[in-house]
């Protein structure tokens, strides 16, 4: 089935949901954050947003969930819009090949993280946005509220507190990079900002809409430009190569779209010029990606013929 009109999005989503509903083995929710561990691994939602803001959805597509690392995409965009290529002097653009919270590469790469989507790289980006705005988390939340058209989006204090209680590895990453001069703000301030950022709760519909600027080549929902076309291309490229932790190659092979996952079970994906997607199902594989979410995106690109390849 090859898509010829956006009107076919809804039946495609319904077919995918029906297929996913018959699939056994959905993985396990993240267990180190109580609010995530309690989620039903068989929950499933999926939304597609067109560049004009039209949204299609199926299943639990309006159910809020913990965005976690998905927000790294938006923080990256907000900082890149402010400082441009100077950002890339402080964080790389290469896949790490290691788990998202690894410290291994930092020492022999002089405190420069491999990419902005592993935890070390996201901490650097948040730090730089904090320096430029004075409140990186609030800047992120304001952007998400505006682009999603949902003024009720907010942080989840319980999730942020859980992140803080289990945040020793992130603190170690931040202190290590600070020792190389790659962190500007006091580490406790940075960690508070980072944990708040990861605690944002949103639905598939919210995130599909909020990601729209990447399908519109850097243009926001109101028609103003956040990023140049080149910068939007850069973010999509880094999502393709680094957005799903150390499974980015497998994700590109199966799905064929730029994507970013979070351990809350969500994944966003971009079809430049055509649409943005968000899928959510809390059961994760061993690399921290939603089992049903990857399968659903795989089916979407197969059924519609929409991929970057």
Q: Is 142 exposed, middle or buried (0-12, 13-18, 19+ CB in 10 A)?
A: middle
Active site includes 245? yes
| CA pair distance 152, 224, nearest whole angstrom | 23
| CA pair distance 173, 62, nearest whole angstrom | 35
Contacts with 219 (C-beta within 8 Å, 6 or more apart), sequence order: 213, 225, 226
Buried b (16+ CB within 10 A) or exposed e, 257-266: bbbbbbbbbb
| CA pair distance 297, 309, nearest whole angstrom | 14
Say which of 56, 162, 187, 245 is annotated catalytic.
245
Contacts with 12 (C-beta within 8 Å, 6 or more apart), sequence order: 1, 3, 300, 303, 304
Q: What pairs with residue 275 in β-bridges?
A: 271
Active site includes 180? no
Active site includes 56? no
Active site includes 194? yes
Say which of 194, 200, 291, 294 is annotated catalytic.
194
Helices (H), the chain: 9-21, 34-37, 71-83, 104-108, 119-133, 136-148, 157-165, 168-179, 187-198, 204-210, 212-215, 229-242, 248-254, 291-304
Active site includes 7? no
Say which of 12, 72, 162, 260 is annotated catalytic.
72
Intra-chain end-to-end CA distance of the chain, in Å:
17
Say which of 66, 69, 96, 102 is annotated catalytic.
69
Contacts with 221 (C-beta within 8 Å, 6 or more apart), sequence order: 53, 146, 147, 149, 209, 212, 213
Say which of 125, 187, 263, 270 is annotated catalytic.
263
Tell me the catalytic residues.
69, 72, 194, 245, 263
């Amino acid at each position: 089935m090859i898509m010829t009109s956006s009107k076919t999005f809804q039946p495609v989503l319904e077919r995918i949901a029906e297929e996913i509903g018959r699939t056994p083995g959905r993985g396990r929710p993240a267990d180190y954050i109580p609010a995530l561990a309690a989620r039903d691994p068989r929950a499933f939602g999926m939304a597609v947003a067109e560049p004009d803001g039209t949204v299609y959805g199926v299943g639990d597509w309006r159910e809020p969930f913990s965005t976690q690392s998905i927000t790294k995409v938006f923080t990256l965009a907000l900082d890149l819009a402010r400082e441009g290529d100077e950002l890339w002097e402080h964080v790389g653009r290469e896949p790490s090949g290691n788990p998202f919270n690894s410290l291994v590469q930092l020492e022999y790469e002089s405190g420069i993280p491999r990419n902005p989507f592993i935890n070390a790289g996201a901490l650097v980006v948040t730090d730089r946005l904090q320096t430029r705005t004075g409140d990186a988390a609030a800047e992120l939340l304001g952007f998400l509220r505006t682009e999603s058209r949902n003024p009720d989006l907010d942080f989840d204090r319980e999730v942020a507190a859980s992140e803080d209680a289990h945040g020793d590895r992130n603190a170690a990453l931040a202190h290590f990079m600070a020792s190389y001069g790659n962190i500007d703000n006091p580490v406790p301030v940075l960690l508070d900002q980072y944990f708040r950022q990861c605690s944002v709760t949103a639905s598939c519909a919210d995130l599909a809409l909020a990601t729209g600027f990447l399908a519109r080549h850097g243009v926001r929902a109101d028609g103003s430009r956040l990023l140049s076309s080149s910068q939007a291309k850069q973010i999509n490229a880094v999502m393709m190569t680094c957005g799903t932790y150390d499974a980015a190659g497998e994700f590109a092979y199966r799905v064929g779209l730029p994507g970013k996952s979070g351990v809350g079970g969500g994944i966003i994906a971009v079809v430049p010029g055509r649409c943005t997607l968000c899928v959510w199902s809390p059961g994760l594989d061993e690399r921290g990606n939603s089992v049903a979410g990857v399968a659903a995106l795989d089916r979407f690109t197969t059924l519609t013929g929409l991929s970057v390849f």
